[in-house]
Amino acid sequence: MDSGLDGDGRRQEAERDVPGLIVIVEAGRPAAVPLAVPPRGLELGRGVPEGRFADDDQVSRAHARAGVDGRAFTFVDLGSRNGSFVDGARLDRELTRPAPALLRLGRSLLWAVHDVRPFALGGRHPGDAPGPVLGGLLTRAFGEIALASKAGDTLLIVGESGSGKELAARAFHEAKHGSGSAAPFVAVNCAAIPEGLAERLLFGARRGAYSGAIDAEGHVQQADGGTLFLDEIAELDPLVQAKLLRVLETREVLALGATRARAVDIRICAATHKNVREEVGAGRFRQDLYYRIGRPEVRVPPLRERIDEIPWLVQRAVYEVDAALEASVTLIESCALRPWPGNVRELLREVRGAGHAALAAGERVVLPEHLAPDAGMPLPTSMPPDDEPVIAANVDDAAIEQALAAHAGNVTQAARALGLHRNQLRRRLAKRKDE
């Protein structure tokens, strides 16, 4: 039967978002199951839908219902025995909430998202096995990286500190050379290079080039036949940027003090947390180098956009402390509700700390209270006086909601995590209530 759609119409239909829920914890165990929410809504309970939650003895047979209206989700508890929770707060009436939102039923967690399709990509979730944890968005980014590896010999990775840019660079390297290849992968943190040493460290030197110089290969020579990963490339001195551009254009490197250039076969993967176009406009990054390495560009999403990875990462961090420890679903929920400005690096460090705190208290289950109160929260800004009536401008309503959810509604702890005085936060909450 003819649907009445032409080719463009079918393409637009296929490209529409599919709103739904991602089961990220099921009966206390990390999971990765996308569930589309149909127009009539989706009932959730033991065995519904498709046998989900049958192993969760804290989920009622008819527990909750989720619906979607445009860009917003509606949640209602169906008289469950243990209650339903949205973003950490008990659901006592029908609630409408824009995505993303976090729904807890018993010992299970579901993440409401605008589009479940990226989360059906089959990412790797190895639990306590070695290797990376790849959620839906990271799997999609790695797919883009694989395509970029076929398109050329450079890649620019952008993303926040701790989000996994080196992991992405290794994926670029492996897409070209294969996993387990002997081809070198040389990682350099440009921000950590001492001032005045970048040229010698990158391009090498010959005996006599300067006082005390000896023959030494640079990172470029070490990466010959493989990949040179330049993390935080925007921190490189402009003069060194010019020499790097010449290496890319000529495929030769001239060490300090050398009279003859050496041919090199390298791929350059650069990364930065800065906006490189803005750095070019400000004169801090060479325009010609940007045009050489700025495309293709792949963005590594921050952890707060990759909530489906958090249960696996939390499980791994707890297991590393003690294999007999258990991560509670409320611990995972609390972690998922925090923005983690330090991303994966910060999450793993703080959860390990929570694991040690649980052990010190003689407990075998890691709970939210074992986390530091400000773990995963924005760094505090300068504190205004107690009677200052104006709340910090960079603290928006979403950040306030996240902080309150992460600290179970405790205003004092939420204010501390936001870098505010508790009276400031109380005034803001009172103002919102009056509006």
Percentage of the chain surpassing pLDDT 70?
A: 86
Is 25:311 a contact under the CB 8 Å cutoff? yes
The whole-number pLDDT of residue 387 equals 42
The whole-number pLDDT of residue 384 equals 46
Q: Tokens for 40?
A: 């009539």
The whole-number pLDDT of residue 223 equals 94
Taking only the tens place, the pLDDT of each residue in 72-107 is 999 999 999 999 999 999 999 999 998 899 999 999
3-class state of residue 433 by DSSP:
helix
- Distance between CA atoms of residues 241 and 256, nearest Å: 15
Is 22:125 a contact under the CB 8 Å cutoff? no
Per-residue confidence of the chain (435 residues) as pLDDT tens digits? 444 445 444 444 446 889 999 999 999 999 999 999 998 999 999 988 877 899 999 999 999 999 998 889 999 999 999 999 999 999 999 999 988 999 999 999 999 999 999 887 555 555 545 567 788 899 899 999 999 988 889 999 999 999 999 999 999 999 988 888 899 999 999 999 887 788 889 988 877 666 666 678 889 999 999 999 999 999 998 889 999 999 999 999 988 877 788 999 999 999 999 999 999 999 889 999 999 998 899 999 999 999 999 999 999 999 999 999 999 999 999 999 999 999 999 999 999 999 999 999 999 999 999 999 899 998 776 444 444 444 444 566 777 877 777 776 777 777 777 767 676 777 777 766 655
DSSP of 390-429:
SPPTT--HHHHHHHHHHTTT-HHHHHHHHT--HHHHHHHH
Q: Tokens for 360?
A: 């010190």
Helices marked H in 322-368: 329-336, 343-360
Taking only the tens place, the pLDDT of each residue in 222-236 is 999 999 999 999 999
Query: In order of start, what are the domains of the chain with their CATH numbers?
Result: 13-120 (2.60.200.20), 136-299 (3.40.50.300), 306-370 (1.10.8)
3-class state of residue 172 by DSSP:
helix
Q: Tokens for 376?
A: 């995963």
- Distance between CA atoms of residues 377 and 416, nearest Å: 10
Buried b vs exposed e over 135-145: b needs ≥16 C-beta within 10 Å? bbbbbbbbebb
DSSP state of 88: T
Q: Which residue's entry shows tokens 């989900």?
A: 52
